[in-house]
Chains A and B, each alone.
Chain A
Amino acid sequence: MRGAWLAAFLRAQGIDPRQMFALVRAFLLSDLRGLHYTKATGTQPNHVISPLFFVVGQCLTLSAIASLVLFMRVEVFFFSFVNLSLGVVVIATTVLVEFQEVVLNPKDLEILGPRPINPRTYAAARFANLLLYVGIMFLALTIQPAIVGAGLRDSGIYFAPAYVLAAFTGSAVAVCLVILSLAALGNSETLEGWKTILAWTQIVLILVAGYGAQMVFRDKLSRFEIWGAFPPDWAAYVPTAWLARFVEQASVAPTYHTLTIAGLMLLFTAVCLAVTVACVAHLYKSMQPLTVHVRHRPMKSGRLGGLAYGPGSRLTFGPEQRVGFWLCGRLLWRDGSLRMRSLLPFSMPLAAVGLGIFTSQFANPMHEHDPALVTLPILAVYLIGLSVPHLIYNLTFNDDHEAAWILRSTPMQQPVGLGLGVCKAVMFWLITPTCVAFAAVSSWYWNDPLAGILHASLAWLLAWVMALAALWLAIPDLPFSRPPDRGGSTGPVLASLLLSCFAFQWGGLHYFFAASIWFWIASVAVALLLMIPLSKKADARFRKLAGGTL
Chain B
Amino acid sequence: MKIDKPTLRSAKYQGLLIIGVLFGAACLAVTALFLREIFFEKYVRETFQPVAEHVAARAKSLATSRLAAETNPVTNSEIDALYDAWIQTDELDSSGMLANHLFEINSEHMLARCCRTLVIGNQQQRLQALKLLEFAPATEHADQVRQLAEYAREKSKRRAEDNLVTAADGLLARLPQGKTP
Residues of A in contact with B (beta carbons under 8 Å apart):
25, 28-29, 32, 46-50, 52-53, 56-57, 60, 63-64, 67-68, 71-73, 75-76, 136, 139-140, 143-144, 146-148, 150-151, 153-154, 220-222, 225-226, 229-230, 252
Contacts and interface: CB of A to CB of B under 8 A. Distances in A.
Interface stretch (B26-34, B58-66, B82-90): B26-34
Nearest to B41: A72
Interface string B142-164: 00000100010001001100000
B120 A148 contact: no
A72 B40 contact: yes
Interface in B125-181: 147, 151, 155, 158-159
A46 to B, nearest CB: 7
A52 B119 contact: no
Interface in B5-53: 5, 8-9, 11, 14-15, 17-18, 21-22, 25-26, 28-30, 32-33, 36, 40-41, 44, 46-47
Contacts of B111: none
B119 A71 contact: no
B155 A147 contact: no
B44 A143 contact: no
B151 A230 contact: yes
Given A32-B11, A49-B17, A68-B32, 14 more contacts: A28-B15, A32-B14, A48-B9, A53-B21, A71-B32, A71-B40, A75-B158, A136-B22, A144-B25, A144-B29, A147-B30, A148-B29, A154-B158, A252-B158
Nearest first, the 10 A-B pairs at minimum CB distance are A154-B158, A147-B29, A151-B33, A72-B40, A144-B29, A229-B119, A153-B159, A222-B120, A60-B25, A72-B44
A513 to B, nearest CB: 30
Contacts, number: 96
Contacts of A151: 32-33, 36
A230 B116 CA distance: 11
A53 B120 CA distance: 37
B18 A222 contact: no
A364 to B, nearest CB: 21
Contacts of B147: 230
A37 B72 CA distance: 67
Interface residues of B, number: 32
B115 interface: yes
A257 to B, nearest CB: 18
B163 to A, nearest CB: 15
Given A143-B22, A226-B115, A28 B11 contact: yes
B116 A56 contact: no
A86 to B, nearest CB: 15
Contacts of B119: 222, 225-226, 229
Nearest to B36: A151
B44 A73 contact: yes
A57 B159 CA distance: 34
Given A68-B32, A72-B36, A222-B116, A50 B9 contact: yes
A47 B9 CA distance: 7
Contacts of A46: 9
B131 to A, nearest CB: 20
A148 B41 CA distance: 13
Nearest to B156: A154
B9 to A, nearest CB: 6
B5 A48 contact: yes
